[in-house]
């Protein structure tokens, strides 16, 4: 760089000089452009001049809860291998940037426009027949980035019950695809493989079957009841993309199902949510350890909590346990509580009509009315329109 200062205006960019992954600009230095003396070449890193931001991965802190590690996941993601707009490796990198521990790429079986014979983006037929391809492409990138990748797919029946289902922990999607004309057979094959089945975006019911587009409330159709009774539904999305379905929490409580908040992302993360959006949907999994085997066990045990739009939804006992692990609570006088949020989770509490937001790692005081025996967590829901309540001692 001393030579750079000495050269002054003598530096000139050479044609075709922008090369390399880090976008380095190659320049040529000559003190005497007329002479035939050898020229000295060097490299200038122009990152600062180009104003390229250095973005660190989002840090999400959640304490271990009830003896389990709390893993952050997104179990509904699409790529160019169905109707998404990015490659599988990009989904891995987006997840790492968002501080996630686990994802599942769940490309559609029935919706694969880029494999069509129409359009300039057609992928060859031999690749198009392999419905495991997005997982196979993403897996090496996930291993390099220490991200857990769950094999999966989406069964898509848009114009009839039962709608869409994600299947996690598939062994081979191709036999499921081969039964594409019979959705019940598809689910049977998926479950026989040991798959975990999620009912996706239950608000997307077709109008002719009483869906919300017709103004009717969300409901279990007779097809859903039949599917549930056969053991082919293990969880439901309470939050999908930017949509929230409050009644799903009651459904999961009544039927012993797992809750999910998933992105169902099709464009890039930047296009849909921006960078490190704290309101982005995430499914929290209470797992014995950070392995795929533990995640699978936790899902079937229904140890999940949904987090999106600055709200959390969970079942008893896991939501109360998460609060107890995340919030340190002390009574510093008969009418005053000192609260510390040890997590990155959004927490708004109220006692006796006074509400405060608990900021991470800050001690905050909450005054409570005399004889008030509970703390209400306004943005943590344990039932439809039912916020979590934490009992208080009278000390």
Domain check: are 293 and 332 in the same one? Answer: no
pLDDT over 90, % of the chain? 65
Domain check: are 90 and 179 in the same one? Answer: yes
The pLDDT score that the predictor gives to residue 161 is 66
The pLDDT score that the predictor gives to residue 85 is 93
The pLDDT score that the predictor gives to residue 369 is 64
Segment 294-341, tens digit of pLDDT: 999 999 999 999 999 999 999 999 999 999 999 999 988 877 889 999
pLDDT tops 60 at residue 181: yes
Stretch among 44-53, 113-122, 220-229 having the lowest mean pLDDT: 113-122
Identify the CATH number of the domain in which residue 238 sits. 3.20.20.140
Domain check: are 205 and 300 in the same one? Answer: yes
Of 263, 284, 315, which one is at a domain's C-terminal end?
315
Average pLDDT over residues 344-350: 97
pLDDT tops 60 at residue 289: yes
Average pLDDT over residues 235-261: 97
The pLDDT score that the predictor gives to residue 271 is 96
Domain check: are 142 and 18 in the same one? Answer: no
Average pLDDT over residues 188-209: 84
Residue 279 located in a structural domain: yes
Residue 232 located in a structural domain: yes
Stretch among 125-129, 183-187, 290-294, 339-343 having the lowest mean pLDDT: 125-129
Residue 142 located in a structural domain: yes
Residue 87 located in a structural domain: yes
Of 294, 315, 336, which one is at a domain's C-terminal end?
315
The pLDDT score that the predictor gives to residue 190 is 97
Domain check: are 169 and 247 in the same one? Answer: yes
The pLDDT score that the predictor gives to residue 110 is 83
Q: Secondary structure of the chain in the HEC alphabet?
A: CHHHHHHHHHCEEEEEEEECCCCEEEEEECCCCCCCCCCEEEEEECHHHHCCCCCCCCCCCCCCECCEEEEEEEEEECCCCCCCCCCHHHHHHHHHHCCCCEEEECCECCCCHHHCCCCCCCCCHHHHCCCCHHHHHHHHHHHHCCCEEEEEEEEEECCCCCEEEEEECCCCHHHHHHCCCCHHHHHHHHHHCCCEEEECCCCCCCHHHCCHHHCCCCCCCHHHHHHHHCCCCCEEEEEECCEECCHHHHHHHHHCCEEEEECCECCCHHHHCCCCCCCCCEEEEEECCCCHHHHHHHHHCCCEEEEECCEEEECCCHHHHHHHHHEEEEEEECCEEEEEECCCCCEEEEECCEEEEECECCEEEEECCCCCCEEEEEEEEEECCEEEEEECCCC
Domain check: are 40 and 182 in the same one? Answer: no
Domain check: are 297 and 376 in the same one? Answer: no
The pLDDT score that the predictor gives to residue 128 is 57
The total of structural domains in the chain comes to: 3
Residue 39 located in a structural domain: yes
Domain check: are 278 and 254 in the same one? Answer: yes
| Domain with 267 in it | 69-315
The pLDDT score that the predictor gives to residue 390 is 94
Domain check: are 247 and 358 in the same one? Answer: no
Residue-averaged pLDDT of the chain: 85
Residue 55 located in a structural domain: no
Domain check: are 134 and 239 in the same one? Answer: yes
Residue 58 located in a structural domain: no
Stretch among 202-211, 336-345, 367-376 having the lowest mean pLDDT: 202-211
Domain check: are 136 and 282 in the same one? Answer: yes
Domain check: are 177 and 304 in the same one? Answer: yes
Segment 131-144, tens digit of pLDDT: 899 999 999 999 99
pLDDT over 70, % of the chain? 80
Of 315, 340, 369, which one is at a domain's C-terminal end?
315
The pLDDT score that the predictor gives to residue 352 is 77
pLDDT tops 70 at residue 367: yes
Stretch among 23-27, 102-106, 330-334 having the lowest mean pLDDT: 23-27
Confidence grade of residue 35 (pLDDT, cut at 50, 70, 90)? low
Residue 56 located in a structural domain: no
The pLDDT score that the predictor gives to residue 219 is 82
Stretch among 19-28, 165-174, 186-195, 268-277 having the lowest mean pLDDT: 19-28
């Amino acid at each position: 760089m001393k030579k750079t200062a000495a050269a002054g205006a003598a530096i000139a960019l050479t044609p075709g000089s922008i090369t390399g992954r880090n976008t380095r600009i190659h320049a040529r230095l000559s003190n005497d452009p007329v002479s035939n003396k050898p020229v000295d070449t060097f490299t200038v890193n122009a990152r600062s001049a180009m104003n390229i931001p250095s973005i660190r991965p989002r840090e999400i802190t959640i304490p271990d809860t009830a003896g389990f590690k709390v893993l952050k996941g997104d179990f509904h993601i699409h790529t160019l291998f169905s109707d998404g707009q990015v490659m599988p490796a990009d989904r891995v990198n987006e997840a790492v940037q968002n501080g996630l521990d686990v994802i599942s790429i769940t490309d559609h079986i029935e919706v694969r426009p880029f494999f069509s014979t129409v359009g300039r983006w057609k992928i060859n037929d031999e690749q198009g027949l392999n419905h495991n391809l997005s997982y196979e492409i993403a897996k090496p990138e996930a291993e390099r980035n220490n991200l857990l990748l769950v094999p999966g797919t989406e069964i898509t029946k848009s114009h009839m019950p039962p709608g869409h289902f994600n299947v996690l922990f598939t062994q081979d999607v191709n036999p499921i695809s081969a039964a594409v004309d019979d959705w019940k057979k598809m689910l049977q094959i998926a479950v026989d493989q040991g798959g975990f089945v999620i009912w996706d975006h239950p608000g997307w019911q077709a109008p002719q079957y009483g869906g919300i587009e017709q103004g009717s409330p969300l409901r279990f159709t007779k097809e859903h009841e039949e599917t549930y009774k056969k053991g082919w539904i293990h969880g439901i999305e309470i939050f999908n993309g930017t949509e929230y379905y409050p009644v799903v929490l009651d459904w999961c409580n009544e039927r012993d199902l797992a809750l999910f908040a998933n992105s169902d992302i099709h464009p890039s993360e930047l296009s849909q949510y921006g960078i490190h959006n704290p309101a982005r949907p995430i499914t929290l999994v209470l797992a014995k350890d950070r392995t795929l085997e533990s995640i699978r066990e936790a899902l079937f045990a229904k140890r999940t909590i949904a987090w999106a739009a600055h709200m959390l939804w969970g079942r008893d006992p896991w939501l109360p346990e998460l609060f107890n692990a995340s919030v340190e609570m002390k009574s510093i006088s008969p009418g005053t509580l000192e609260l510390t949020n040890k997590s990155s989770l959004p927490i708004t509490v109220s006692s006796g009509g006074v509400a405060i937001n608990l900021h991470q790692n800050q001690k905050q005081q909450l005054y409570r009315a005399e004889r008030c025996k509970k703390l209400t967590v306004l943005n943590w829901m344990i039932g439809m329109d039912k916020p979590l309540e934490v009992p208080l001692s009278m000390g």
